[in-house]
Amino acid sequence: MKRAPAGAADSSKGAEAAALVVAAHGRRGILARTDGARLPYMIRGRHLRVVCGDRVHFTAAGSGEPVVVERIEARENELQRLSGRGGQPETIAANVTHLVVVMAALPLPDLYLTDRYLCAARLMGAASALAWNKSDVAGPPLAELALYETLACPVFPVSAVTGDGIAALRAWIGSGTGILVGQSGVGKSSLLNALAPGADVLTGEISLASDEGRHTTTASVLHPLPGGGGLVDTPGVRDFAPAIPERTAISSGFIEIEEYGRQCRFTDCSHLREDHCAVQEAVAAGQIDPRRYESYRRLMNLVRQAEGRS
Model pTM?
0.87
User: In this predicted model, what pLDDT tens digit does every residue of 275-298 receive, in sequence order?
Assistant: 999 999 999 999 999 999 999 999
Give residue 235's pLDDT. 67
Give residue 87's pLDDT. 58
Of 4 and 113, which is predicted with more confidence? 113
Of 138, 181, 131, 178, nearest to 158 (Cα)?
Answer: 131
Of 127, 129, 77, nearest to 102 (Cα)?
Answer: 129
| 183 pLDDT more than 70 | yes
Angle at 68 between CA 65 and CA 69, to 5 degrees: 150
Q: Which residues, listed in sequence order, are joined to residue 98 by a DSSP beta bridge?
A: 127, 178
User: In this predicted model, what pLDDT tens digit does every residue of 242-264 receive, in sequence order?
Assistant: 988 778 899 999 999 999 999 99
What average pLDDT does the structure give for the chain? 85
| 212 pLDDT more than 60 | no
3-class state of residue 168 by DSSP: helix
Full set of structural domains in the chain with CATH: 19-72 (2.40.50), 78-233 (3.40.50.300), 247-309 (1.10.40.50)
**Is residue 131 within 8 Å of 191, Cβ to Cβ?**
yes
Q: How far apart are the C-alpha atoms of 204 and 202, rounded to whole Å?
A: 6
User: In this predicted model, what pLDDT tens digit does every residue of 112-139 receive, in sequence order?
Assistant: 999 999 999 999 999 999 999 999 988 8
| 239 pLDDT more than 80 | no
Give residue 238's pLDDT. 62
Q: How far apart are the C-alpha atoms of 68 and 75, rounded to whole Å?
A: 19
Give residue 241's pLDDT. 87
- The helix (H) or strand (E) run that includes residue 70 is strand 67-72
Q: How far apart are the C-alpha atoms of 130 and 114, rounded to whole Å?
A: 9
Q: How far apart are the C-alpha atoms of 96 and 170, rounded to whole Å?
A: 15
Q: How far apart are the C-alpha atoms of 198 and 80, rounded to whole Å?
A: 28
